[in-house]
Chain A
């Protein structure tokens, strides 16, 4: 650990009502801040000269510790930050403000907020990828799908641009096998198990955490292939107003207004946006050697969205958070293009509202309680006037209202061990005309997990940490599951010897049992030729992943990670014929998904140059018969690419005392290997390369900052389809301009 005497930044804080902090002279209180972003840093360990943990900063970055005698030597430690030391000669009446400088190694600098047990990237046994705010600003695109597309292990199933649905496949598993969280709380759709990534605007996303592998032991149902947590924009450190406008090809336009306000202990962030696009892009329709230029129709999008994020410090130990978001959209559903005259008049309306309230309080110096409540309303209507059966045009809808409460206690048991325990309780009411009657379902899950450092074993060479976890879930009246997990992390000590001095390395492994609960549609669907099956069992899986990570600081920072994964699933739900002209779901299939993820990142200081490359191979094969005589055992599942590669080069320069504050650009090139669209693997879609680039600049007219970003998507005009029948746009452009005060 690096320690050195720092320059102490001591501020004098007065609370909202003009009261100074009055406390016992032998109590020391403070707040820990990121020296670069100004954000508060939770979970920092404060140690004395004997390396004993005296306190841990809370989720708001605050700490309180009792000091029996002075002078006292304190040190502040958190992975991803340069350690700091502080010598206090005498008690002080003011609150300490300690700034910690992030390490250049990005692997450790980010706290994984969705983890049940607070941890950083480098202290987790799981393979985790965090897309930071800075990375979001470097990336082209406007939706969550654009952010996730270049991440190793993920494949975005893109049904065309604009209004086309976009779902995720992680590690060769299905869309419904990735659990989505918002601020750590479940938002995966209970009705159909899907999250349309195209409907989540990227503007107000602070970061995205991708936790790979089975994690039902922490999160319960549906965390089979992994978990994706979306963290909305955080409350800024000072008052700010921001407005931006984007225009682009195919009638694209987008307007956003956001503001952050700080008043004493209260901080609020507001955001409103509107997005519209005609998406009438040209594309080439191929029939043998005949190529016809067509134009996409009925793919327009009209969306409005807004959110409020608030934080209120109630007292020194307690903080209240609230988040609310509203989303409304209407879009055309173009359908597959299967001929020169393919026309679909189908339309879809979506509404999604979320209200979250969280309360965090310190029970003691080493125990922290958080309680989060969420209310979520989701509505979707799909109508197709051109699809008429028995004189009734297709017009289906569903509404879900879900309430959820999730209390959790996190305890530092000792210097070597931590424990987190809690439960999730949720109740959902569902109505819709695709079910015979309205439905309700209650879900309960209780978990316990922790970590323990094995200091005595090979302590000279490595820090070994064990991560046991177990969870029990009950979903509805019939589904229950026990989900154990065990993780191991071996972090090798940095060597003192020569060239190896700058090498950091770690081995990680995790094995877990996970499950996916049948959706409401799978249980209760009734109509349009589909019949739900209320006797469905959950899908079960056993996942294993093992990996190595290396980082080296020479001519910049180099990071290499490689992970082997495998997931064996049984009782996978498949819709099969019911023998009466209908289809019904059954627990039929066994699947094995296996592969390898590798990534390399290199960056110069201050991100002047940043190079990233990743590679994924995934074989996902059916290992059982869906029906007697099924000839497709061991066939690759459809729409699972066997290989993917992503390359990205970013250049960014910050200028001091200049009108031009920052200038940068990113070029990204992605490869998606061939993927089958027939069960017997006789039909496949060819592989493709797609390149995107952007150039961006910030201009400073203090106190106002202006920014501009020019994006080119599909730079080389690739003619490709991700899903058969759904052409992707050729080269397109977008321009964003905005101001911030």
Chain B
């Protein structure tokens, strides 16, 4: 009897001494209103229903706030795999590809004002058309784009494009959609808006992924190349005339590109290369717009997302730390010098500036 009692006590001891769950992160406090802010949409881990997180960096106060949406909305999350972020008219439009939803929040208090889900849409990028009050959304695995009403977020139309569409740009009445095919497509679809009809399909090279408009109106398209092609192809950048749809110039690289391209007001385009040994980006190359002179490895590192501050021309480049830890935002001057850095969250993939 004594032996059984001792064993019962031992059992109880074992049960009650099991480790308690670690304390989760403190419920974030709402971020205060910020005049000059850098918003960073962090993807989160694949498969995490609450992985998408918004970070906010107060430029003047040099303070970073995390879980901005959770802090302002009583713990409500954005969703899974945050892929794109656009700011317009005092609001942030946030796209999650995993949970296939858009969340619209106020840039003042970050309270959720609208949300909509698009089942089966496999979205990846969004572009706001302020002239026509629309949002264009790529459907990554459905080879099409959805056209949404900006006010209601309802679906207005759908247009079939090429394989795995990603980057988009508007020029006048034409929407240019890059069909990456993850390196397996070579086309850019040109859609006449608001008619939503195909105007043309341009053939460039393997993997058109990113597109940006230069101050002169020309469109610069970054093609990743295809390492799996036989023979393998490397990255290229094309300069398109959006009016004539002609390819006016091209630049060939000796290695693949990540696909991101941004153009500042400083006369340069910045693109991300690929780092051997990383799956999440590469160094920054710089192209002088007027002469198309390239400076390879303008900034060394492994950068997952890239943006240029429209006011200061500073370059914001996010390092995803291989998705193994929180990411890091690096701020470089126009001549490539590191000016400052701050920690963001897991997988910083989209950057937007509030001024």
**Chain A: residues with CB nearer than 8 A to chain B?**
285-290, 336-343, 386-392, 529, 552, 554-555, 558, 576-583, 598, 600, 602, 613, 615, 626-627, 630-632, 642-643, 645, 671, 673-674, 677-680, 682-684, 686-687, 724-725
Residues of chain A with a CB closer than 8 A to B73's CB: 288
Contact (Cβ within 8 A) B74 A289: yes
Nearest chain A residue, comparing its CB with the CB of B98: A338
B122 in contact with A340 (CB, 8 Å): no
Residues on A with beta carbons closer than 8 Å to the beta carbon of B1: 555
Interface members, chain B 51-109 (any A CB < 8 Å): 51, 70, 73-77, 79-81, 96, 98-101
| B324 in contact with A632 (CB, 8 Å) | yes
Residue B154 interfacial (CB < 8 Å): no
Say yes or no: A576 contacts B279, CB within 8 Å.
yes
**B141, A287: Cβ atoms under 8 Å?**
no
Given contacts A289-B74, A600-B11, A678-B346, contact A339 B256 (CB under 8 A): no
**B45 within 8 Å of A by Cβ?**
yes
- Contact in complex: A581, B279 (CB < 8 Å): yes
Task: Give the residue among A578, A678, A686 with the most B Cβ atoms within 10 A.
Answer: A678
| A579 and B3 contact, Cβ closer than 8 Å, known pairs A674-B22, A725-B47 | no
- In contact, B117 and A341 (Cβ under 8 angstroms): yes
| A580: chain B residues within 8 A (beta carbon) | 227-228, 232, 256, 274
Within the complex, the shortest CB–CB distance from A510 to chain B, in Å, comes to 25
Instruction: Assess A645 versus B49: contact at CB under 8 Å? Given A340-B99, A340-B117, A627-B322.
Output: no
Rounded to whole angstroms, the CA-CA distance of A552 and B2 in the bound complex is: 13
Would you call B279 and A577 a contact (CB within 8 A)? yes
Are A678 and B45 touching (Cβ within 8 A)?
yes
Contact A338 B274 (CB under 8 A): no
B200 beta carbon closer than 8 Å to chain A: no
Tell me which residues across on chain A come within 8 A of B151, comparing CB atoms. none
Query: Within the complex, which residue of A339, A671, A678 is in contact with B18, where a contact is CB–CB below 8 Å?
Result: A671
Most B Cβ at <10 Å: residue of A338, A552, A630, A683: A338
Give min CB distance, B323 to chain A, whole Å.
Answer: 8
Q: Mark B18-32, 1 if CB is under 8 A from A, else 0.
A: 110110110000000
Check A288/B77 contact, CB under 8 A, given A555-B4, A579-B277, A683-B48: yes
Give the CA-CA distance A627 to B11 in the complex, in Å. Answer: 43
Q: Which residues of B contact A340 (CB under 8 A)?
A: 99, 101, 117
Q: Verify if B201 is at the interface (C-beta below 8 Å from A).
A: no
A615 to B76, CA, bound (A): 36
Give Cα distance in the complex from A600 to B4, angstroms. Answer: 11
Apart from A582-B228, A679-B325, what are 5 other A-B pairs with CB-CB below 8 Å? A339-B98, A388-B163, A580-B227, A581-B256, A725-B47
A632 touches B47 (CB 8 A): no
- Contact present for B99 and A388 (CB under 8 Å): no
Please tell me which one of the listed residues A288, A579, A645, A673 contacts residue B278 in the complex, with CB atoms under 8 A apart: A579
The residue that B280 contacts in the complex, of A387, A577, A686, with Cβ under 8 A, is: A577
Question: In whole Å, how far is B161's beta carbon from the nearest beta carbon of chain A?
Answer: 12
Chain B residues whose CB sits within 8 angstroms of the CB of A600 once the complex forms: 7, 10-11
How near does chain B come to A392, taking the closest CB pair, in angstroms? 8
A66 to B319, CA, bound (A): 80
A594 to chain B, nearest CB (A): 15
Q: How far is A581 from B10 in the complex, measured between Cα atoms in Å?
A: 54
Q: Flag whether B173 is at the interface (Cβ < 8 A).
A: no
Q: Does B264 belong to the interface (CB within 8 Å)?
A: no
Chain B residues within 8 Å of A337, by CB: 49
User: In residues 275-301 of chain B, which contact A (Cβ within 8 Å)?
Assistant: 275-280
A286 vs B10: C-alpha distance in the bound complex, in angstroms? 37
How many angstroms between the C-alpha atoms of A343 and B142 in the bound complex? 14
Of the candidates B99, B184, B324, the one whose C-beta lies within 8 Å of that of A341 is B99
Q: Tell me the minimal C-beta distance from A12 to chain B in angstroms.
A: 49
Query: Within 8 Å of chain A (Cβ to Cβ): is B185?
Result: yes
Q: Which residues of A contact B119 (CB under 8 A)?
A: 341, 343
16 A-B contacts (beta carbon < 8 Å) = A288-B73, A289-B76, A290-B76, A338-B51, A339-B79, A339-B96, A339-B98, A577-B275, A579-B276, A580-B228, A580-B256, A581-B274, A581-B279, A671-B15, A673-B18, A684-B24
Nearest CB in chain A to that of B227: its residue: A580
Q: A342-B99, A579-B275 are in contact. Are A632 and B224 (CB under 8 A)?
A: no
Report the minimum CB–CB distance from A439 to chain B (whole Å). 19
Docked complex Cα distance between A182 and B294 (Å): 62
Asked if A642 and B4 make an inter-chain contact with CB atoms under 8 angstroms apart, the answer reads no
Residues A287 and B77 in contact in the complex (CB < 8 Å), given A340-B117, A724-B48, A724-B49: yes
In angstroms, how far is the closest chain A Cβ from the Cβ of B12?
A: 11
B19, B99, B224, B228: the one within 8 Å of A338 (CB) = B99
Query: Does residue B118 face the partner (Cβ distance < 8 Å to A)?
Result: yes
The A/B interface has a contact count, at CB < 8 Å, of: 181
A286 cross-chain contacts in B, Cβ below 8 A: 49
Give the distance to chain A from B265, nearest Cβ to Cβ, in Å: 31
Report the bound CA distance from A627 to B302 in whole Å: 12
Contact between chains at B278 and A391 (CB < 8 Å): no
User: Which of A602, A642, A682 has most B Cβ within 10 Å?
Assistant: A682
A289 neighbours in B (Cβ, 8 Å):
74-76
Query: Is A687 within 8 A of B21, CB to CB?
Result: yes
CA distance A680 to B326 in the complex (A): 8
Judge if B164 is at the interface, Cβ distance under 8 Å.
yes
Q: Are A288's CB and B279's CB within 8 A?
A: no
Please, how many angstroms separate the alpha-carbon atoms of A576 and B322 in the complex? 9
- Residues of chain A with a CB closer than 8 A to B3's CB: 552, 554, 558
Q: Specify which of A339, A343, A627, A632 lies most central, judged by the most chain B CB atoms within 10 Å of its CB.
A: A339
CB of A386 within 8 A of CB of B326, answer no
| In the assembled complex, B111 has its CB within 8 A of some CB on chain A | no
A237 to B79, CA, bound (A): 59
Give min CB distance, A626 to chain B, whole Å.
Answer: 7
By a CB distance below 8 angstroms, the chain A residues around B25 are 682
Of chain A, the residue at the smallest CB distance from B45 is A678
Residue of B nearest to A580 (CB): B227
Residues of B within 8 A of A287 (CB): 49-50, 76-77, 79
Nearest CB of A to B274, in Å: 6
Q: Are B45 and A677 in contact (CB under 8 A)?
A: yes
B181 at the interface (CB under 8 A from A): yes
State A36–B322 Cα separation when bound (angstroms).
60
Q: Which residues of B sit under 8 angstroms from A630, Cβ to Cβ?
A: 324
Contact of A339 among B4, B101, B185 (CB under 8 A): B101
Cα distance A687–B14 when bound, in Å? Answer: 16
Question: Are A341 and B120 in contact, with the CB atoms below 8 A?
Answer: yes
Closest to B52 in A: A338
Name the residue among A337, A576, A679 with the largest chain B CB count within 10 angstroms.
Answer: A679
Residue from the list B76, B79, B142, B324 in contact with A680, Cβ < 8 A: B324
Please determine whether A389 and B324 come into contact, CB atoms closer than 8 angstroms: no
Contact A288 B100 (CB under 8 A): no
Contact with A along B155-171 (1 / 0, CB 8 A): 00000000110000000
Bound together, the chains give a CA A529 to CA B25 distance in angstroms of 35
* A683 near B79: Cβ-Cβ < 8 Å: no
Q: How far is the CB of A699 from chain B (nearest CB, A)?
A: 34
**Is the beta-carbon distance between A339 and B45 smaller than 8 angstroms?**
no
B143 within 8 Å of A (CB atoms): yes
Structural contact, B19 and A643, CB atoms closer than 8 A: yes
Report Cα–Cα, A715/B15, bound state, in Å: 20
B241 within 8 A of A: no
Judge whether B47 and A336 touch: CB under 8 Å: yes
Question: A391 CA to B346 CA in the complex, in Å?
Answer: 30
Identify which of A288, A602, A626, A645 gathers the most chain B CB atoms within 10 Å of its CB: A288
Also in contact, A390 and B324, with CB within 8 A (given A288-B74, A289-B75)? no
Q: Determine if A389 and B164 form an interchain contact, defined as CB atoms under 8 angstroms apart.
A: yes
Asked if A338 meets B49 with Cβ closer than 8 Å, knowing A386-B122, A388-B143, A391-B181, the reply is yes
Q: Which 9 A-B pairs have the closest CB atoms?
A: A390-B184, A339-B99, A577-B279, A579-B276, A288-B75, A338-B80, A580-B227, A341-B119, A390-B181
Q: Of A390, A578, A626, A724, which one neighbours B47 at CB under 8 angstroms?
A: A724
Which among A386, A529, A582, A677 is the interface contact of B141 at CB below 8 angstroms?
A: A386
Q: Output the nearest chain B residue to A631 by Cβ-Cβ distance.
A: B325
Q: How far is the CA of A391 from the CA of B24 in the complex (A)?
A: 43
